[in-house]
Structure 1
Amino acid sequence: MQAHLVLIDAMNLIRRIYAAQERLYPLNGDLSDKTKQQIIHNTKTAATKALQKIIQEHEPSHALAVFDCQGLCWRYKIFPDYKKGRKKMPEHLAESLSDMQDGFLALGVDSLESEHDEADDLIATLAVKMALNGQNTTIISTDKGFLPLLGHHVQVYDYFKKRYFDDEYVQQKFNVKTAQLIDFWTLTGDTTNKIPGVAGIGQVTASELLNTYGSLKAILAATDLKKSVAKKFADTQLQFELSQQLLNLKKDIPLGFNLKDIRLHEEVIPTGINT
């Protein structure tokens, strides 16, 4: 029987649920301790129910909730402005994560967290290992950073809008092919994570260039670029290298467990994929 692994981008799920719960309370100054406790309780309850629905909807053979590391990940070390300005997680939410992990475990879904890597890298590593072994993965997240992983054995699902992201979505949203997304974001930058692009190159120009030349490498090697465009690329090689390093997800992190360790059901399924 073919394995189907569901990977939950846990903080993507929890923080969106938390934000929805927090909006139910008027924000007139700081939240009281009692209100914070109520919001956390509601968030944990809603997150657990969401996980139940995810399992029911996708019927996976295996599942894992993947959390970001508590400290600064490796990307901050090579680019201190990574995610600069992003709203910090509320302290009372951060302190409740272990309780939420316990709630997930009560449903049979274990949690994974690295000391140095983001959840995105852990998820990418697992999804690629599954695909290389001909097994299926569904990533539960609204994060566009997973879109380059889309393929025959990897799909990405938005739990909140109840839709799958696919190659057609990528084409309509960005006007490039899925395989061109990293080059696309290298040109435009990624404002969500504060990863720089090329000044003066927006989505329209980036997609036109990639549709014409096929790749960033081919664009840089082209001799027929408009002078105004070619000028924008002057002295950008080091920036491109940094941006691509930041944008590309790690796919080779040693995780130290076997697929059978995160099995949900007792059916006989492939268990020889070492991670």
Structure 2
Amino acid sequence: MPAHIVLIDAMNLIRRVYAVQERPFHYMDTLSETTKQQIVHNTIIHTVQAVRKILNNQQPTHVLAVFDSQSPCWRYKLYPDYKKGRKKMPEHLERSLTDIQDALLELHVDSLVSDEDEADDLIATLAIKVALRAQDVTIISTDKGFLPLLCEHIRVFDYFNQRLLDEQYVQDKFQVKSTQLIDLWTLSGDATNKIPGVPGIGQITAAQLLQQYQSLKGVLGATDLKQSLASKLQDHNPQMQLYQELLTLKKDIPLGFNLKDIRLNKQLSQQAV
């Protein structure tokens, strides 16, 4: 039986589940401890339910929930404004993460928590290692940062909208191929991660440039650009190199475990369900 590895972007899933549970209390200026505990309790229940559905629908042979490090990753050292202004995780949710991990373990879904890396880099590393062995990977996330990984053996699934984020989705949303996305965001910026891009170049212009010249290297080497655009690109070349590094997921992080360590015992998992 061919392997199918499901990698769950845990905080992407949990924070969205939490937001739904918290929404009825938005009218309150402050939350009582009792209310916080109730929201967290509901978040744990609904997160477990979501993972049960993922297991039932995806039918993986291996599964892993990957959590971000609680310490700032390497990107913040390179670029202090990385994700600047993003809403901080509520303390009561942060304190509950080990409880969520324990609840997932009852489904025989293990968790990987890094000391210093973002979950995205860990997921990318594992996905590439698996894909190079011609085995299939499904990444459960709504994070567009995984889309450059799309290939024959790697797919991205949006649990909340129950759809694959595939090449057609990329083309419809960004008007480029998945292999051109890093170059697109380098030019146009990535608001989610507070990466500004080149001033005056939006997504439409960036996509048009990549459609014509295929890559950022091709754009920079073009001799028929308007002088104002060529000058702007030249002036921002050092920043673009930084943006590319920030946007590119690491694929070589030492993981310290084998696939057999995350093999899903379906019989035990189904009993837990």
TM range (shorter): over 0.9
- The question of 1:46 aligning with 2:37 is answered no
Q: Identify unmatched segments of 5+ residues in structure 2.
A: 268-273
Number of residues paired by the alignment? 267
Q: Which ranges in structure 1 are unaligned for 5 or more consecutive residues?
A: 268-275
Q: 1:237 to 1:26 in 2, by over 3 A?
A: closer
The one-letter amino acid paired with 2:61 is S
| Cross-structure match for 1:69 | 69
2:65 paired with 1:33: no
TM-score (norm 1): 0.95
Deviations 1:125-155 (A, max 9, x none): 0100000001100000000000000110000
Q: Alpha-carbon deviations, 1:73-131, whole Å to 9, x = none?
A: 11001100000000000000000000000000000000001111100000000100000
Choose 62-71 or 230-239, whichever is displaced more.
230-239
Query: 1:139 is matched with which residue?
Result: 139
1:160 corresponds to = 160
In the alignment, structure 1 residue 174 sits paired with structure 2 residue 194: no
For the 8 Å contact 2:108–2:265, the answer to whether it is kept is: no
Relative to 1, partners in 2 of residues 1:95 and 1:266: Cα closer, same or farther, differing over 3 Å? closer
Distance 2:113 2:246 in 1: 19
* 1:190 counterpart residue number: 190
In structure 2, what residue type is equivalent to 1:148? P
- Tell me the equivalent position of 1:260: 260
Amino acid of the structure 1 residue aligned with 2:19? A
Distance 2:155 2:26 in 1: 38
TM-score, structure 2 length as denominator?
0.96
Root mean square deviation of aligned Cα: 1.1
Give the corresponding residue for 1:80.
Answer: 80
Following superposition, the deviation at residue 266 of structure 1 comes to 7.0
Residue 119 (structure 1) aligns with: 119
Q: Post-superposition shift, 1:27?
A: 2.9
SS of equivalent to 2:124: helix
Q: Determine helix, strand or coil for the equivalent of 1:77.
A: helix
* 1:91 and 2:91 matched: yes
| Mapped partners of 1:4, 1:101: distance in 2 | 22
1:32 and 1:101 map into 2 onto residues whose CA distance is 25
Alpha-carbon offset, residue 231 of structure 1: 2.5
Distance (Å, rounded) in 2 between the aligned partners of 1:246 and 1:67:
19
**Other structure's SS at 2:234 match:** coil
Deviates more, 1:227-236 or 1:256-265: 227-236
Matched to 1:133, the amino acid is: R
Equivalent residues in 2 for 1:241-256 (5 A)? 241-256=241-256
CA deviation vs aligned residue, 1:18-44 (integer Å, no higher than 9, x gap): 000001224321100000000000000
